[in-house]
């Protein structure tokens, strides 16, 4: 394959010719860079669909609208940059070992879409299915793990209870001592658990959607929602107003703010979630390890860094400032699991604003405003659902109705107290 713009070599590139050919190539100025995304142009006065939020969810929805529903007159608006929100801030845990059958079915399809993602989109997202081990330190946890394992198996998700001996075999370096604050009693072993390169997911969707005509406009903030007779008719942005047939909001921590512009409230509270990575170490940890009682979970990346995450901040906030307290608690709890990491240095740390719902399940589908669709309430666990939510959100917009798969996650469930409670299956596992 030739590199675009390279002059044809005059002589075959032999060993001798190589340095000269290389020199010529290096000095020749006419190379064109390969662009994943076309340069952004002006905003059009109207689109069929405007998607607010250029994170994984918004872009996946755009991709599926163009690819499977032939809806290509679509634009995705982001006030910052492509995938600069929680999509590039998460700890990339992908799993389906939830507790309610509705969630398990949904997240199971999410995992399946991730296993095919790199091939389907022709973009390497470095998906790596290594299994996730969740630790129980109390009888109560063991009981819910048993229930989760059975619900999971029934629906074709690979989860099983493991005892202390099996845990030793799965993660030989884990501290199994009894003289710690929370001794390990057993675990939930989820073979389908894994990780992926999170920002590559956003880039892949953006690149493939753009090839089909979807426009991505970065640094374009939505400042208002135009409405007429209970129906969304357009959006106002920092670059002018746009008319449209449908609006999708996929703005994570800013969900309540956008809903406010659209004239309604949500059962959502925004909390910072912090995470960190250590300096790279030789590979020693294959599966993902998580403990709700210790408010910490750990995985090792391909380059050897340990990714460490935990529970949310203790009070609501729209600022991504980090705190020492949270880092200290993450480190203390990680050291209870892996004491030999005590001398390891922290490399980076950050936070994202997460949109938490009362039942730790998302809100997808209809909103009180007609033609205004919600993809919100993804809190601390929505990365793993990026492909599956994009698929079904696109169907929702194209057919103007949320499909059966999304019904359990409708906004209306709160009015009827018909919650999809995943708190226990989400806390500190993400």
Partner 1 sequence: MKIMPCPLNGPRNISEFSCFGEVTEMPEPATADDTTWAEHVWYANNMAGVVREWWCHVPTSYWFIAERNTVTDEILRTYPAGEVFKERVEFAPKDTSA
Select from partner 1, ligand FAD, none the partner in contact with residue 213, using the beta carbon and a kind-dependent cut-off of 5 to 8 Å: none
Packed helices 101-121 and 386-399: angle between N→C axes, nearest 10 degrees = 100
CA atoms within 13 A on the CB side of 251: 26
Q: Does 197 bind ligand FAD (CB under 6 A)?
A: no
Among 217, 246, 384, 410, binds ligand FAD (CB under 6 A): 384
Query: One symbol per residue from 48 to 77: x for binding ligand FAD (CB under 6 A), - otherwise; what is it?
Result: ----xxxxxxx------------------x
Q: Does 430 bind ligand FAD (CB under 6 A)?
A: yes
Q: What's the longest Cα–Cα distance across the chain?
A: 77
Q: Which is nearer to ligand FAD, 163 or 221 (CB)?
A: 221
Q: Does 287 bind ligand FAD (CB under 6 A)?
A: no
How many residues bind to ligand FAD according to rule CB under 6 A? Answer: 39
Q: What angle do CA 263, 265, 271 make, to 5 degrees?
A: 130
Q: What pairing do the DSSP bridges indicate for beta strands 240-249 and 231-237?
A: antiparallel
Three-state SS at 367: coil
- Dist. CA 321–CA 334, nearest whole Å: 22
- Dist. CA 184–CA 137, nearest whole Å: 5
Q: Does 149 bind ligand FAD (CB under 6 A)?
A: no
Select from ligand FAD, partner 1, none the partner in contact with residue 78, using the beta carbon and a kind-dependent cut-off of 5 to 8 Å: ligand FAD
With tokens 């198996």, the residue in question is 153
CA atoms within 13 A on the CB side of 373: 31
The residue range among 3-11, 81-89, 135-143, 401-409 that interacts with ligand FAD, by the rule CB under 6 A, is 81-89
- Dist. CA 426–CA 310, nearest whole Å: 11
Q: Does 365 bind ligand FAD (CB under 6 A)?
A: no
Q: Which is nearer to partner 1, 300 or 354 (CB)?
A: 354
- Dist. CA 236–CA 371, nearest whole Å: 16
Q: Looking only at residues 259 through 278 of this chain, which bind ligand FAD when binding is defined by CB under 6 A?
A: 273, 275
Alpha-helix residue ranges (DSSP H) falling in 28-122: 56-69, 101-121
CB 61 within 8 A of CB 250: yes
- Dist. CA 173–CA 286, nearest whole Å: 11
Among 43, 65, 71, 78, binds ligand FAD (CB under 6 A): 78
CB of 269 to partner 1, least distance (A): 5
CB of 242 to ligand FAD, least distance (A): 12
Terminal CA-CA length for the chain: 42
Residues that bind partner 1 (CB under 8 A): 256-257, 265-270, 314-319, 321, 323-325, 358, 414-417
- Cβ-proximal residues to 56 (8 Å cutoff; 6+ apart), any chain: 83, 87, 198, 201, 202, 205, 383, 386, 390
CB of 267 to partner 1, least distance (A): 4
CB of 212 to ligand FAD, least distance (A): 19
The residue range among 142-150, 244-252, 279-287, 407-415 that interacts with ligand FAD, by the rule CB under 6 A, is 244-252
CB of 219 to partner 1, least distance (A): 20
- Cβ-proximal residues to 206 (8 Å cutoff; 6+ apart), any chain: 36, 37, 54, 59, 76, 82, 83, 216
Strand partners, 308: 276, 298
Residue 16 is given by DSSP the state: T
Range 337-346 burial, b when 16+ CB lie within 10 A, else e: bbeebeebee
Select from partner 1, ligand FAD, none the partner in contact with residue 301, using the beta carbon and a kind-dependent cut-off of 5 to 8 Å: none
Select from ligand FAD, partner 1, none the partner in contact with residue 89, using the beta carbon and a kind-dependent cut-off of 5 to 8 Å: ligand FAD
Select from partner 1, ligand FAD, none the partner in contact with residue 136, using the beta carbon and a kind-dependent cut-off of 5 to 8 Å: none
Q: Which is nearer to partner 1, 318 or 340 (CB)?
A: 318
Q: Does 387 bind ligand FAD (CB under 6 A)?
A: no
Q: Contact positions toward ligand FAD, by CB under 6 A?
A: 52-58, 77-80, 84-87, 89-93, 221-222, 250-252, 254, 258, 273, 275, 309, 352, 354, 378, 380-384, 430
């Amino acid at each position: 394959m030739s590199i675009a713009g390279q002059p044809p070599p005059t002589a075959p590139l032999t060993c001798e010719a190589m340095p000269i050919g290389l020199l010529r190539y290096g000095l020749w100025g006419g190379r064109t860079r390969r662009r994943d995304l076309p340069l952004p142009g002006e905003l059009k006065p109207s689109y069929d669909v405007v998607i607010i939020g250029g994170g994984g969810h918004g872009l996946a929805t755009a991709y599926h609208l163009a690819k499977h529903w032939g809806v290509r007159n679509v634009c995705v608006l982001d006030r910052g940059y492509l995938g600069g929100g929680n999509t590039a801030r998460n700890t990339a845990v992908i799993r389906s070992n939830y507790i309610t059958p509705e969630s398990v079915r949904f997240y199971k399809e999410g995992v399946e879409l991730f296993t095919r993602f790199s091939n389907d989109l022709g973009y390497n997202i470095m998906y790596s299915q290594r299994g996730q081990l969740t630790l129980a330190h109390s009888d109560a946890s063991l009981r819910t793990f048993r229930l989760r394992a059975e619900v999971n198996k029934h629906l074709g998700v690979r989860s099983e209870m493991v005892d202390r001996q099996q845990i030793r075999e799965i993660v030989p370096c884990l501290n199994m001592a009894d003289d710690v604050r929370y001794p390990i009693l057993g675990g939930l072993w989820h073979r389908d658990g894994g990780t992926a390169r999170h920002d590559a997911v956003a880039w892949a969707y953006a690149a493939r959607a753009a090839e089909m005509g979807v426009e991505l406009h970065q640094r374009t903030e939505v400042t208002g929602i135009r409405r007429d007779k209970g129906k969304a008719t357009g959006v106002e942005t920092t670059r002018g107003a746009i008319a449209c047939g449908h609006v999708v909001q996929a703005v994570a921590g800013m969900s309540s703010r956008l809903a406010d512009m659209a004239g309604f409230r949500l059962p959502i509270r925004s909390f910072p979630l912090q995470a960190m990575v250590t300096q790279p170490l030789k590979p020693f940890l294959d599966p993902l390890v998580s403990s709700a009682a210790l408010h910490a979970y750990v995985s090792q990346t391909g380059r050897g860094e340990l990714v460490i995450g935990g529970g949310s901040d203790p009070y609501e906030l729209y600022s991504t400032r980090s705190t020492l307290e949270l880092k200290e608690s993450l480190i203390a709890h990680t050291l209870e699991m892996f004491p030999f990491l005590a001398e390891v240095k922290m490399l980076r740390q950050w936070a994202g604003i997460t949109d938490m719902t009362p039942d730790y399940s998302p809100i997808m589908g209809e909103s009180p405003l007609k033609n205004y669709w919600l993809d919100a309430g993804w809190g601390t666990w929505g990365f793993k659902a990026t492909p599956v939510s994009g698929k079904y959100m696109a169907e929702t917009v194209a057919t103007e109705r949320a499909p059966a798969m999304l019904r359990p996650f409708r906004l209306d469930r709160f009015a009827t107290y018909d919650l999809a409670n995943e708190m226990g299956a989400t806390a500190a596992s993400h």
